Structure 1
Amino acid sequence: MTETPDEALGGETQTTTHFGFRTVAEGDKAGMVHGVFTRVASRYDVMNDLMSGGVHRLWKDAMMDWLAPRPHQRLLDVAGGTGDIAFRFLRRAPDAQATVLDMTEQMLIQGRQRAEAEQMADRLTWVTGDAMALPFADSSFDVYTISFGIRNVTRIEAALQEAQRVLRPGGRIMVLEFSQIPNAALQWAYDRYSFNVIPVMGQIVANDRDSYQYLVESIRKFPDQETFAGMIRQAGFGQVRYRNLSMGIAALHSGWKI
């Protein structure tokens, strides 16, 4: 996020951010991200399987292993889309409740349909909302998760502060996100796959090359593991740790509200 002179406004500054590799006005990004996920909603789960060869399922299971859901907990899954994380959490935690929040109504519609099919509708709440301004009271949840969503937030720091606010003392945040491979040669090879294959796959499967081009670019703009861990600490969390998955293609970050 930067501020640049805007001569048309007499030297005033305009706050900007990135949308993939493009620089855009900060106020425009949320709408642009909303457009991306509205367009891909119906094919989102299929594309996740194709892009990762199904490995994203193993990453999400690893997230649950580290999280260790417990009975009666209240989960808030932000950018929860079609409910993948919430379903996994509820299967492992008897009598737990989950709230899935997403800015894109079309993603939540897909999730509600899955919940009804899997007979979990009575344990789930679906909310349209913004990660930077959560519509919940302070200290409302035991666990906060966000999976492959925080890199799309306009101001990541604001989202982390909101996570800290809505968690109860002793509550836990866990973030699953694409990250940076510490080996330069492997990162180069992964970049070639990402930029040359995934947008083409998006065109063929979802008839939308541009959205998947943005998603690939957004991964490269996201901070590395150590930098992001520092952002979580800066938001007030303690005992911040991370674990690389698949050599660092993705990473899990964990922290506690002390």
Structure 2
Amino acid sequence: MNSDKTTHFGFETVKAEEKAGRVREVFDSVASNYDIMNDLMSLGVHRLWKHVAIDLSAVRNGQHVLDLASGTGDLASRFAGLVGPEGRVVMSDINLAMLEEGRKRMVDSGHVGNVEYLQINAEEIPFPDNSFDCVTIGFGLRNVTDKDKALREMFRVIKPGGRVLVLEFSKPVNKPLEKIYDFYSFKALPLMGKLVAKDADSYRYLAESIRMHPDQETLKQMIEDAGFERCDYHNLTGGVVAIHRGFKL
């Protein structure tokens, strides 16, 4: 990677080669409180968002699924139940601490036979072409340094007829909601991070990373540019979150 290339780490401009390490430090810090903070930050609504994503994925028995940026495994756990013993789910994260938290939770839930655990950088997916029926990334794409490269990698490893699903924070569709959301993100989130996780800075970064992420139409175009067709997106909670979907035909 060109050492002169820069990217965003929240609102800060950093060398592109440094971002992955900075993101890793954030999630090392928040891993043990990740589930608690998700419930607090979203008032539990993140579970509904993920439920809608599962439905839109159309994953079924016997299929192979790659879940990138799995975190503690909310999506991967549901996929493991859907694909059954004949299917396969690869639960992955670039952050080893997050992946270990997720692995422990998956084992506690009884998912042991059809789930693999791998530390994966979404920009360099270590699988052959046409390996998966579905690739998902939930609340992780905004942390990827080269999003276009990651989307091209997802396209490469998806089988013809398969699809990608990107669940991510996005841009509220009306101004009043946007103002409320900004206040919540930049005032309430860091305060909750400080009180609950003893880490205001990491949650301030998370709020900033959401603001720097492409809006719905821009991300849709990026997914199309990576090679996907029949791309669409579904706004949830007034556009606070959007689910983007694309197909490899």
Please give the TM-score of this superposition, normalised by the length of structure 2. Answer: 0.97
SS of structure 1 residue aligned to 2:71? coil
2:65 aligns to what? 75
Which residue number corresponds to residue 154 of structure 1? 145
The residue that corresponds to 1:85 in the other structure is 75
1:173 and 2:164 equivalent?
yes
Contact 2:70 2:93 in 1 (8 A): yes
Q: Does the CA-based 8 Å contact 1:141-1:166 persist in structure 2?
A: yes
Q: Tell whether the 8 Å contact from 2:64 to 2:83 is kept in structure 1 after alignment.
A: no
With normalisation by structure 1, the TM-score equals 0.94
Residue 90 of structure 1, CA deviation:
2.0
User: Would you say 1:62 and 2:52 are equivalent positions?
Assistant: yes
Bigger mean CA offset, 94-103 vs 189-198? 94-103
The alignment covers a number of residue pairs equal to 247
1:109 is aligned to 2:100: yes
| Cα distance in 2 between the residues matched to 1:72 and 1:240 | 24
Matches within 5 A, 1:210-229: 210-229=201-220
Shift of 1:251: 0.3
Superposed displacement of residue 68, structure 1: 2.1
Question: 1:52 — aligned with what?
Answer: 42
User: Residue type matched to 1:195 in 2?
Assistant: F
* 2:154 aligned partner: 163
| Contact 1:41–1:110 (8 Å) recurs in 2 | yes
Q: Distance in 2 between matches of 1:118 and 1:101?
A: 17
Supply the AA of the counterpart residue of 1:191.
D
Asked if 1 retains the 8 angstrom alpha-carbon contact of 2:84 and 2:114, the reply is no
CA contact (8 A) 1:112 1:121 kept: no
Q: CA RMSD in A?
A: 1.1
1:132 equivalent in structure 2: 123
Q: Alignment partner for residue 222 of structure 2, among 204, 222, 231?
A: 231
- CA deviation profile, 1:3-48 (whole Å, cap 9, x unmatched): 9xxxxxxxxx811000000000000000000110111001001100
Tell me which structure has the larger Cα radius of gyration: 1
Structure 2 stretches lacking a partner, 5+ long: none
1:100 aligns with 2:91: yes
What's the CA shift for 1:185?
Answer: 1.6
Alpha-carbon contact 2:152-2:226 (below 8 Å) kept: yes
